[in-house]
Structures are given as C-alpha cells and as structure tokens.
Structure 1
Amino acid sequence: MAMTSTNGATSTVANGHTNGSHKPPIRIAGASGGFSDRQRAISSLAKLDIEVIVGDWLSECTMSLHGAEKAANDELRAEGKLTSEPAGLYDPTFMENLSPALDDIARKGIKVAVNAGASDTARLASVVEEEVNRRGLGLKVAYVEGDEVTETVKSMMKEGEEFRSLMTGKPLKEWGYTPLSAQCYLGGAGIAEALRSGADIVICGRVSDAAPAVGAGMWWHGWDREKDFNQIAGALVCGHLVECAAYVCGGYYSGFKSLMEGCENLGYPIAELAADGTCTITKEPNTGGEVSVGTVSSQILYEIQGPLYFGSDVTAVLEGIVMTQEGKDRVKVAGVKGLPPPVTTKVGLTAFGGYQAEFSVYICGLDLEAKAEWIERQIRYSAGDAVKELTCFKFQLVGYSPENPRNQEIATAVLRIFVQTKNKDLVSKSTLDVPGLNRWAMDNGLQGCPGWTLSNDQRLSEGKVYYEYDVTLIPQSRVEHRVALPWINKTLDIPPAKELREYPRDQASYETKDPVDLNSFGPTTRGPMGWIVGGRSGDKAADANVGFYVRHDDEWDWLRSILTIPKIKDLLDQEYKGRKVERFEIPGIRAVHFLLREHLDRGFNSTSTLDTLGKNVCEYLRAKYVDIPNKFLHRGKF
C-alpha cells in the first residue's frame, strides 16, 4: 500500500457545509469498549438510523502485548531468524464484529471509525479492504498512522531528552527498564480528514478512546480546529461517554439492582452530537439497561484525572458539565468548555519486566488471618535465600467467612501467593521436583494449618513473561500523524493545531469552598456510603481515579462536605498507599472526584493486585461505613 505524501491537511468543510450551518446533530453509535465486548454490536447498530459507528478494541494491556511482540518480531527479522510472516498484530476479533455489518454499512452509507489496528494498522486496513472487495461493496478504507513512536523516543533519549513518568514525575532513567515499544495517543483530526476525503471506514492504531467521535464531529459539523474549542471539547466529552459502549447504558452502574430486568442484553449507546458541541445520549431500542443522569454521570467519572480532560485536539474543562433527563433513555449533556490542546500527547512505554507466577491455598472457617500467617511463615522459610531474587513476593488473603455461614463455599477464603522475578528458574515449571514457588508451597502441605487445601489446577504457578508499562509525554511536534488513502494512493500529513498550550502535570486540587456543618443534617445512621452514593473508578497505568455522586441537592451539600481528602484517606484504611491524593468537584452532576496517585502497583500487565484495572476501588469505598442522615435513607437506597 505505497503512498505519496502531501502536507498540511487543514480543511474545515464537511460535505460542503462550514461551521455555523444549521446542520442537524450527527448520530454516533458506540460499538465497543474493548476486545471483550459483545461481537453483535456493529451488526445491530448498522440496522439503526445513524451516521457513524465508533469503537475501541484496544487498551493499555493489549497495546503493551502487541508492542512487545512487534519488537520481538522486528529483532528476529533483523537477525534473519523470522522463518514465516507472523500473525497480524491487530485485534483478532475485529473482523468478526465488522464483517456481518458490511452490507448494511454500504447500503445505508454509514461511516465507521475505530481503534483496532494496534501495532499493525495498515495490515488490518488491507484485511478490511480485501473483505470489502470480495463482497463487491465498493467501500473506501483509510487508515491513520503515526502512533508508533518507538524510534522517536529512543532517538530523543539519546539526544538527552528527559522523559518523566506521568504517574510518578520521576525521570525515565530511574524506571529501571528499557522500552521495547512506544505508542502515543493521536487525536481525531486525522479521522476527520479521512472522512472529508471520502473514506467510509477508518482504521486507527492508537488514537485516544474519544478521538473517533471527535473526528466524526469535526467532519460533520465543519468545526475549525484552530478556534472552535468549545464545540470540539463537547465532542471529546461525547466520545468519552460512548467510548466504553454499554457502560453509559447501565454497565458498572451503582444502581444495577434496578436494571436486573433485561440485564442479559444491555443496549449500546447512540449520541446525538449537535453543532454547538452539546450532545444527547440515547441507546438502541428494545434492549436492557437505561440512559439516565445516573448512568451518564457514572461514565463521565470513569478514568478522568482532574478538572481538565486532555485530548490531542482540545482540552475539555469538566467542572461546568450539567445533565438533563429529557425523557426515557435521553440525557442531554451541556456546559463543557474548551481550551487549546496541550503541547504534548501521552505515550505508553512497554518494557520486559521478568516472570511472574502465583499459587493459591484454600482455607476455611475460623481464624482465617491466623491461618494465613501460619502459611506465609512456612512458605517464606521454605523459600530461604531465594527471596533475594524476587522483585515481588506477596501473600494476599482474599475473602472471609461470615458468622454462622450457610454453606462451605461462603466460609472459604483464598490465600494468594504472588511472585515476580528476573530468574526464570524460580517459576519455570509447576512440577514437584523443581525448586521454586510451587515447591515452596507444596513442601508445607502436610505441615499446614487446619483445612489447608490445594487447588487442583497448578498452571498459574508456572511462570509467564510479564511487561512493565509506564506513561510519559511526547511533544506533538515530534509525532508524524498521517492518514493513508489507498484508493487514490495518497497520504495526508496532519500537523498539530497551531495554538498549543503548556499544562502542568498536576491539575488543580481543592476542597469544597463552603462546607456545610454535618450536624445540620439531623439524626444519622451508621452504614455503607453506597446506600446513597453512586460512583465509578478506573485506571491510568498506576494511578486510580474514583468519583462519587448523589441524586439530590441536599445530598450534594452533604457529599461535598464529608468527602475531603483526609476523609478519603481514612476510608481507604489499609489500602491507602501514602501517595498524593487530588480532588475536584463537578457541581452540575453533584460529584466529587479523587485521583489516587500510584495506587495500583503499576499497570494491568505487571500489577500484583486483584484489582487489575482499578474498577473495584469505588466499590470498596462505597462499602465503607459513614454517618448517613436519616432523611436521605427514607428516599431509598441504590
């Protein structure tokens, strides 16, 4: 797919319309939030009355794995040891999603813009093009490239560039690992230009999760990326709302118990994005779930990091967001303000970490903590001096036995033993004659505490390779953002916006400006905060974010007054890692948000925690007891 190159794609015209026209809202359907999403989505959505389908099949986890595999293949190729062409390093499920929908997409003129190409975007575009041609559909397939910045990062490091971790603020040289791959997050401008050039399907490698919706909005409404910051910021928030598919329609919703009827098949979202940047969120008909201020507020709070939400095209200010329930399954989102995009964009770094393994022991009934201590002391004794070669050695008691348990399963907990090491021999096999994790644990089977029970599946105790992942920033000026248009044998360079702004790493953090005396709310009952407080949490590498919201104005006065930074540290209890906690508010949705720095023990691929994606931070905190005003409880619980 060789291309020629032209410079400076800056058109702001969409289908002959310029900004300020009275064009109706563009209907954007969110089809996927990750490779584990349901495969029916594109096919179902293509049968509806929409203009664009967007979706994301990638994550930090998948990008890291694909990036590492690409680096390994490149090394083998350079050494002449690559005996056959490897499988494409794009999402392997994408074609199963797209293929059944192609006839409807072609017949109805629906556009598609997706994150699915990972480390082999051009190859996936070719696969899509081959399927389109095989079926005689005549759809034009473009692809966006430039997210692969491995050599750029390595070159800048040699030039003395001091990259700093976005999580810790420390220089990359203190990380202790050598990057194998580096992939940055592109914006939506390239997608917009592909659509303006006639593309029907746009395949991206790693644009930001919200970028497909941003690009669709810029194309449809003809926004000027150099000045229409409010509108583009509204599209960025719109994209954030639909990027995780059914999340905004009831997935992960604190009020999930009210949605049990129909939960087997939650609907996928459709956003109506207007010319002024406001949007209305709806969902596909005749499906479970709901679109409410609660479900939409939940998704707004997911994986944000402060009052500013950064994209390569714009910076959105979240504090002024307001939501209005316009009808059943219809929520209008307004109040988003825009600022110029940042000078930099995020780049994920993948490095070889070592090997990891785990071993589980089941224990039951009384004295679980004492039983766990017994096992830990014995296994550490068996490991002996080998512990010096472990970079991580953790014992985690998972679960508890309630009083007077009604069955044995409820009374059973798991002691999880987790190790990481650079020495493959310590975790290389799960057979009994190899010294290492499995042997250390098995040595103590007959010396164990009462009820010590071996799992009948030992495969996890055989080590696997894991990768370290960190995030830093790279100047947008060093990124070669391009759009390939194969049907005319052409590429378009997409330069950064002319006005870029420098933003500090740490965003504004503050307590509420006028807290209310908690005694003024009257008599209280001690109980879980989640009785009246909803929320959502997520991950960004090692950082966890968690946001909480309530349903009524007087509850908002209580929430913003009780949820201070010291209070959240107190509620975290033993989970508080001693790191920085940042706080801000979104009054329009009655929400308080916290960013917990370095809370998750690195990222998904290397973390030792059970909460690999930060999604359970919120549910843990909602289970913590606080003094809840009785008058709130009378309204009903989540």
Structure 2
Amino acid sequence: MTRAIRIAGFSGYLGDRRSALAEAVAGDPCDVLIGDYLAEFTLAMLAARHRSDPSKGFVEYFLDQLRPHLATLAERGTRVVVNAGGFNPAGLADAVRAQIAEAGVRLRVAHVEGDNVLSALDDLQAAGHPLQSLDSGAPLSDWGVRPIAANAYLGGWGIAAALREGADIVVCGRVTDASLTVGPAAWWHGWRNTDWDELAAAVVAGHIIECGPQAVGGNFSGFTQVPGMVAPGFPVAEIAADGTAIITKHAGDGGMVTVDTVTAQLVYEIQGPRYLNPDVTAYLDTVRLRQIGPDRVELSGTTGSPPPPTTKVAVFAPIGHQLVSTLYATGLEIDEKVALIRAQAEALLDGAEAELDVSALGTAAEDPERQWDATVQVRIMATAAERAPLEQLAEGLGGLFLSSIPGFYTDSAARQSGTPKPRIDYWPSLLAMDAVPHETVLDDGSRITIAPPPAAEQPAQPAHPEPEPSPAGETRRVPLGRIAHARSGDKGGNSNVGLWVDDPKAWPWLRGLLSTEELRRLMPEAKDLEIVRHEFPNLRAVHFVLRGLLGTGGSSNLRVDPIGKAVGEFLRARHVEVPVDLLDGR
C-alpha cells in the first residue's frame, strides 16, 4: 500500500470500557482495530481463571464486544487484532468462528501461539536456560514454588503472517503490546524483518496507542484542560511506509491529542531510552514530536537496531494468600489510634507466619468543618502461606467494634473481605528467542512457523551523568506540578516515572533540579532503593526507574498503590524552588 495504515486502539487493559469496540466501529474509518487486554497484573488474574477452568483463560467479554459488529467488519473489510486470547488463543479463535457462523458472514480467523511455555519449563532449564530473575539474578529453580503460568513475549511477525494469508480477525496470546501495531504495519507496507528504523517507529506508535485513552488525555496530569474527560476516546495511529506516524483520535470522541498527551504515554512503563521488543530495539531518545494540527501529533526521527537475542518471559506462581480490610479513624490522636489497630491486628495473628501492613491514608484536618475532613482510612493487609491465620484475622477484626479505638467503624455499604484470596507472585525472566516457538495457525489448521529475527544485538541503556544545578535567580516555592507534568507506572517490581515540561525555557531548570538525590528527597519511600536516571532532551523529560518500589510485582506487593500509578502525581505535589520567570501565567 502507498498510503499510511490507520490503526485504532479500542482496549488498553483487561476491564477497559466495554463499549470501546462499538465506539471504534462508529468512529472514523480505520484499517485495523487493535485491542490490548494483557499486562503483568492482569496476566496474573487470567492465570488463576485458566487454572480453575482450562477451557477458559481468554477474555470472554471480547466475544460480547465483537458479536454486534461482525457484519459491519465484513462489509468494510476492517481487520481486528487482539491479545484477548490470553492463555487459550485457540479456544477464543474457535469461539469467534462460532459467532461468525451464527451471524452468517464471511470472516476468517487465525490465531498466534507459542508464547505459553509453562509445560516446557523443566525441559528448558535442563537444556541450559536458567530463567534467571531480572530483579534478583537467581535461577528459577531457586524460587521454591511451582509456576502456574509462563508466557514469553512474542513479536509482530506472526500477526503479519496471519493478515497476509487473509485473516480478518487475529487472536493472540502474550504478544507484546506494541506487536499489535507492528504486525499490521509490517503487513500493510511489506516491510522486511531487517527494516529496523521502520519497525522501531511502529513499536513507538504502538506503545503510544496500546493503552487506550491514555494517549488522548486519560490518566494525564493536565486533565483539567482536556475536553470530554467524562468519556475520553481512543487513539488512532496513521503509520506511513517510512515509519513516520501521526497520532490522532476519532473526531467525534472526547479527549485531545497534543504533544503533552503523547509524551505522557511515551515515558510510561519504560526502562530507559532503549525500548526492547522481540522484533527491534527502538531508540526513544531520537523520537521527535510536533503538533501539526488539532488532535494531530507527528512522530518522527525514530531509529532502531536489531533486537536482543532474548525475549521477556512472565512467570507466575501462587505463594499463599492475602486479606485486605479497611476501617476509619476520626478526629484527634490519629497516630495513636492507628498504632492500637496495628497492635490488635498483630495480636489477632497470634505469632503466625504472616506479613502485616497497616497504613493510614490521608491526614485529618486541624479544625474540620465536616466529619469527613477529620477522617482517615486505615487499610489492613496481611499475607500468609496458609489461609487459617488470615481467616482468624478477618474474624477478629469483626469483633473489635466495642473494644478498639473510639469511633471505630467500617463502611457498611462496602463489601468487606472476609475470605482470603490467593496471592500470585511474579518472576520476570528472559529466554533465548530461538527457544520460543512462534506459530500462526490459520482457519484451515495449517501452521506458519515464524523464524527468530535474522540478527540480534545486546543493547545497553545509555549512561547520563548527574546534572549540575542551573542558576535559578529569584525563586518561589511551589508544587512541582505547577510547572511539570508526570506519568508513572510499573515494570514488574520496579516503578517508573517520567517528568517533563512543555516550556523549552524550563527544560534546563528541570534537568538541573531532578538529580537522583533530589528524587530521593522528594520521595523518601525510595531513599534506600536503586534508582536509574535518564534524560530525554527531545521530550524535555527526565525519567527514573525506582527498582523494587513495587516489591516483586503488582500482583503480590502490599502497597496501596500496587502498580505505581500515582507516584508521578505524588511527586508533582511536592514543593520545590522554581525560578519566578518560569511561573509567569502559571
């Protein structure tokens, strides 16, 4: 094709807006609709579902989303690519075919498999693949628990092969989020698997649109300036043959696409300037953004190189049980009240092998006008290898109404957790690409084997020296968020956060301010952690990885914000000295 391919997202995670596919079909014409349902956190959820019923393990509500639109998709020739297959892409593909037959339309369905390597773990380790943890470096054999899921991240060439063979709907398991875009773009433009710059550009475009409304104003620190935030729409990527892309949205939907909303997604859930993918390594520090019209941001300058010789593997295993309960403390002596609740919870556990976290959320006002101004939430979370201690804790907490702090109550309208739930831990690892089977299965049962990339390089993240503070002149102490945007998220047990400014004049000041030591001051919770710092001058952004802030991952840590979504907003609330000449009009 000579024109750019138009790829529209309609899902950013398992649980995203159910109406999104209907909105995409009703929106501006697009060539491919992509749905991203998987993440490290949601994979753990699906793993438990698959374990209880092996015939499931896919995103069942995708069928409800798809069913009403089959005739329209067939009429328009619009393709659909999703990773809703989860742990059973073949099962979802069969379910989609049954729907198509019932609707009486002509659509072909293919699926991509090979990511599920659970049954091969023992053989892989015996063959010399230790599956070392990316966090601790320990081999998988040291984990001491039995995995229930292990999925390797696949690239986009299996998707491209399915589309090339005439598939209208492609169901995937754990391909990378960006692969949902890379595959269609490579198919459309006939790219070779050595077109590194073009593939890298598609990875970056895919990274921007993979998280649904986030690229059009969702989860954006400038949300008060975004129109239609009650229901922001979903992004569209127009990707040209040379890799140049334009990020936009459906004209009738809420939200907006600006350099800042796109920057927010670019710095989200990355580990640094080198963005690793099974098909290519993309260089995010070469990316340039330019507003070329209302809701149209041009993405250019992306460069790429061969991918690493390995791909990521997400391994999950049950490690026990967890229980969460909340109650409220009001008025005076909040610290003492929380201390008593903590002591009572510890006594209820009665020396059992358990981990307990009691956190007060919020601060009571000094002279409150309303009861709620004087109230903080107290969250009690406990984990244990066995259920019994947690059941004992749940029962005991329910017996404290008359024997604990003054004003003890729970929200009777909210369901309290009285039953411990399984606790699923996450083990991120790497596996050689040639050890991962990657196959496209067509509707006639024939299989296409996808070869590993023809070249591989082990990239290293660049090292950026700590900055020297820039001359400030007259300053005023204000919240950092008065002048800077931020976006944060998770990568396993690590939290990342990117902070940037929209004013070029403020970039030298932000760069000079945000040293590693300043970040430790701004966020005492991270003061003892390893922190990795990088700069993105083209984006006027400083990016940090806070290693271990999220324990071993969002599915198992005890943190109230388990996947670091609000780290950036916390930092924006911290007060810093800002030159007054940068605050004009802010």
CA contact under 8 A between 2:87 and 2:116: conserved in structure 1? yes
Shift of 1:352: 1.1
Aligned residue number for residue 491 of structure 1: 447
Task: Count residues with an aligned counterpart.
Answer: 584
Q: Deviations over 1:110-155 (max 9, x none)?
A: 1111110001111111111111122222111111000100122221
In structure 2, relative to structure 1, the CA distance for the partners of 1:458 and 1:324 (3 Å cut) is closer
In structure 2, relative to structure 1, the CA distance for the partners of 1:635 and 1:413 (3 Å cut) is same
Question: What is the SS of the residue equivalent to 1:461?
Answer: coil
CA contact under 8 A between 2:349 and 2:389: conserved in structure 1? no
Aligned residue number for residue 429 of structure 2: 472
Shift of 1:68: 4.0
* From 107, 114, 134, the counterpart of 1:166: 134
The question of 1:587 aligning with 2:566 is answered no
Question: What is the SS of the residue equivalent to 2:366?
Answer: coil
- In structure 1, C-alpha distance between the alignment counterparts of 2:16 and 2:266, rounded to whole Å: 20
1:15-414 equivalent positions in 2, closer than 5 A:
23-47=2-26, 48-71=28-51, 86=55, 88-225=56-193, 227-259=194-226, 261-386=227-352, 389-390=353-354, 392-414=355-377
CA contact under 8 A between 2:129 and 2:431: conserved in structure 1? no
Which blocks of at least 5 consecutive residues in structure 2 are unaligned?
Answer: none
1:426-575 equivalent positions in 2, closer than 5 A:
426-428=389-391, 436-442=392-398, 444-456=400-412, 459-487=416-444, 489-503=445-459, 507-511=461-465, 515-517=468-470, 520-573=471-524, 575=525
- In structure 2, C-alpha distance between the alignment counterparts of 1:525 and 1:100, rounded to whole Å: 57
Q: Deviations over 1:395-431 (max 9, x none)?
A: 1111111232231123211221211111211123xxx
Q: Deviations over 1:368-401 (max 9, x none)?
A: 1222112222332343322xx11x2111111111
Which blocks of at least 5 consecutive residues in structure 1 are unaligned?
Answer: 1-16, 18-22, 75-85, 429-435
Question: What is the SS of the residue equivalent to 1:319?
Answer: helix
Q: Deviations over 1:9-66 (max 9, x none)?
A: xxxxxxxx6xxxxx11111101110122222222222242211111112222332233
Question: What is the SS of the residue equivalent to 2:371?
Answer: coil
CA contact under 8 A between 1:267 and 1:285: conserved in structure 2? no
CA contact under 8 A between 2:162 and 2:170: conserved in structure 1? yes
Q: Deviations over 1:505-548 (max 9, x none)?
A: xx3342356x452xx33211112111111010011111111000
Shift of 1:71: 4.4
In structure 2, relative to structure 1, the CA distance for the partners of 1:450 and 1:511 (3 Å cut) is farther
Shift of 1:440: 4.0
TM-score scaled by length of structure 1 = 0.88
- In structure 2, C-alpha distance between the alignment counterparts of 1:512 and 1:635, rounded to whole Å: 30
Shift of 1:69: 4.2
- In structure 1, C-alpha distance between the alignment counterparts of 2:433 and 2:73, rounded to whole Å: 34
Amino acid in the other structure paired with 1:258:
Q
Aligned residue number for residue 567 of structure 2: 617
When structure 1 is superposed on structure 2, of 621-630 and 41-50 the one drifting more is: 41-50
In structure 2, relative to structure 1, the CA distance for the partners of 1:453 and 1:42 (3 Å cut) is closer
Question: What is the SS of the residue equivalent to 1:290?
Answer: coil
- In structure 2, C-alpha distance between the alignment counterparts of 1:126 and 1:239, rounded to whole Å: 27
In structure 2, relative to structure 1, the CA distance for the partners of 1:67 and 1:155 (3 Å cut) is farther
Amino acid in the other structure paired with 1:271:
A
Q: Deviations over 1:157-207 (max 9, x none)?
A: 234532211233333334332222201110101101111111111110110
The question of 1:421 aligning with 2:375 is answered no
In structure 2, relative to structure 1, the CA distance for the partners of 1:357 and 1:577 (3 Å cut) is farther
Amino acid in the other structure paired with 1:186:
L
Aligned residue number for residue 580 of structure 2: 630
- In structure 2, C-alpha distance between the alignment counterparts of 1:111 and 1:232, rounded to whole Å: 20
Over the aligned positions, Cα root-mean-square deviation in angstroms equals 1.8
Q: Deviations over 1:264-297 (max 9, x none)?
A: 2212111110111121011011222110001000
CA contact under 8 A between 1:326 and 1:332: conserved in structure 2? yes
TM-score scaled by length of structure 2 = 0.96
Shift of 1:569: 1.2
Aligned residue number for residue 554 of structure 2: 604
Amino acid in the other structure paired with 1:66:
L
CA contact under 8 A between 1:537 and 1:616: conserved in structure 2? yes
In structure 2, relative to structure 1, the CA distance for the partners of 1:382 and 1:91 (3 Å cut) is closer
CA contact under 8 A between 2:346 and 2:356: conserved in structure 1? no
